[in-house]
Amino acid sequence: MKKKILFVIPNLAVGGAEKSLVNLLNELNYAQYEVHLFMMAKTGLFISHLPKEVIILPESSAYQIFSKRFPIALMTFLLQGNFKLFLNKIRFTFFNRTIKNPILAEQKNWQFLRYFFDSFPQKYDVAIGYLEKNANYIVADCVQADKKIGYIHTDYKTMGMFPIYDRRVFKKLDFVITISEGCLQTLKNIFPPFENKFQLIQNISSKKTITELAAAPIKEKLIRLSILSVGRLTALKNFDLAIDTATLLVDRGYDFEWNIIGEGDERQYLEKHIASKKLTGIVKLLGLKENPYPYIANSLLYVQPSKFEGKSIAIDEAKILQKPIVTTNFPTVFDQITHGETGLISEMNPTALADEIEKLFVDENLRNKFAVNLSKENWGTELEVEKFYQLIES
């Protein structure tokens, strides 16, 4: 009989964890496993990339109402006579407005949000929360399963999460998977009692798939000095640093373009920042691209200006495509890049980042050195799925 596995994730919008889940689901053996997927909101570009074998569960009807505008949600719960949800919607909204830290708000507000998710009707062999916070909380509190697994896709300390809210959850989980050595060590340092629960399984990246997709044509004509960055348009991805760096490169006389693939709530701010620096037509926000790989393949450089990452899937993909890489020195980057051998690691300021980019603009031998070094390794991580099998079968 097939084992039943449940995955939980907030949505499948374009992001590293979401792409990692889709890659994993495309590697699973469906002769052995019946896989169910629950999304808090059934949205996101990556839904179309799910394998046909995955059974997508319906959304929570209570959470759908909760997600509507405040007065509509309250009126609906009142008309239903559901005073518990009515009150918890008010409590959630009040606390969200009084807590300025969004990380703390998401962790703390689970005490109210929990009531908008019914217990799942069937029991699973394995239930997996595929993202920190709410996905893990749903698995811990709302799912019956013989084995419960959580994921932390980021550096817990650098992200500024609050351990008091996760200790209770980690007690309920059999394992907590994270994606890099740096993230693993951080978890062990913060949660010593759960040290044996923490497991390292890297994000799944298929070299064969990425290489094939990279051969597709693109409509944009990229100039010779073309930089690419990929990521959500959020403060953590630090694209305002990219804009300030681009200003310095223009001042140094370089004719280049810096394309950014991604979407997010900082778009308007970044557009204004680009205009204020007179970089319109130089720094370009290309929006979401279902297939970003031809843009990576056809660019001269890949640049990751992030404040922090758990383990950047985009960097792994650029390595697979043998692109010269410049990245900021967020703590976990040293698990991915060896400075001077497989890329350049910069201090997190515009002058330092411009200096490292300039080295690769002018030095073709250095670019070739990185490409050759990257070509010697198999950066695909398909074999990580074997670690996943071992964990769910243990």
User: In this structure, are 369 and 250 located in the same domain?
Assistant: yes
User: In this structure, are 7 and 136 located in the same domain?
Assistant: yes
Q: Which residues contact 201 (CB under 8 A, 6 or more apart)?
A: 177, 179, 384, 387, 388, 391
Q: Write the DSSP assignment of 138-159 as a string of letters.
A: HHHHH--EEEEEEEE-S-HHHH
User: In this structure, are 186 and 258 located in the same domain?
Assistant: no
Q: For residue 163, what are the domain limits?
A: 3-60+117-205+383-393
User: In this structure, are 253 and 322 located in the same domain?
Assistant: yes
Whether 222 maps to a domain, the answer reads yes
Separation of alpha carbons 333 and 182, rounded Å: 9
Number of domain units in the chain: 2
**Can you give the pLDDT of all 394 residues of the chain as single tens digits?**
899 999 999 999 878 899 899 999 999 999 999 999 999 999 988 898 899 999 999 999 999 999 999 999 999 999 999 999 999 999 999 888 888 888 898 999 999 999 999 889 999 999 999 999 999 999 999 999 999 999 999 889 988 999 999 999 999 999 999 998 989 999 999 999 999 999 999 988 888 888 999 999 988 888 889 999 999 999 999 999 999 999 999 999 999 999 999 999 999 999 999 999 999 999 999 999 989 999 999 999 999 999 988 888 899 999 999 999 999 999 889 989 999 999 999 999 999 999 999 999 999 999 999 999 999 887 777 788 999 999 999 8
User: pLDDT tens digit string along 43-61?
Assistant: 988 898 899 999 999 999 9
Separation of alpha carbons 152 and 183, rounded Å: 8
Q: Domain with 254 in it: what CATH number?
A: 3.40.50.2000
The span from the first CA to the last CA of the chain, in angstroms, equals 17
User: In this structure, are 387 and 279 located in the same domain?
Assistant: no
Q: CA of 14: how far to CAs of 20, 136, 203, 263, 303, in Å?
A: 10, 20, 15, 8, 18
Separation of alpha carbons 82 and 348, rounded Å: 50
Q: CA of 299: how far to CAs of 44, 130, 217, 318, 321, in Å?
A: 26, 32, 13, 10, 11
What's the CA angle centered on 321, arms 288 and 374, to 5 degrees? 140
Q: Which residues contact 19 (CB under 8 A, 6 or more apart)?
A: 46, 203, 313
Strand partners, 304: 327
User: In this structure, are 356 and 368 located in the same domain?
Assistant: yes
User: In this structure, are 267 and 233 located in the same domain?
Assistant: yes
Question: Tokens 């994270």 correspond to what residue?
Answer: 178
Question: What type of residue is 75?
Answer: M
Separation of alpha carbons 329 and 262, rounded Å: 21
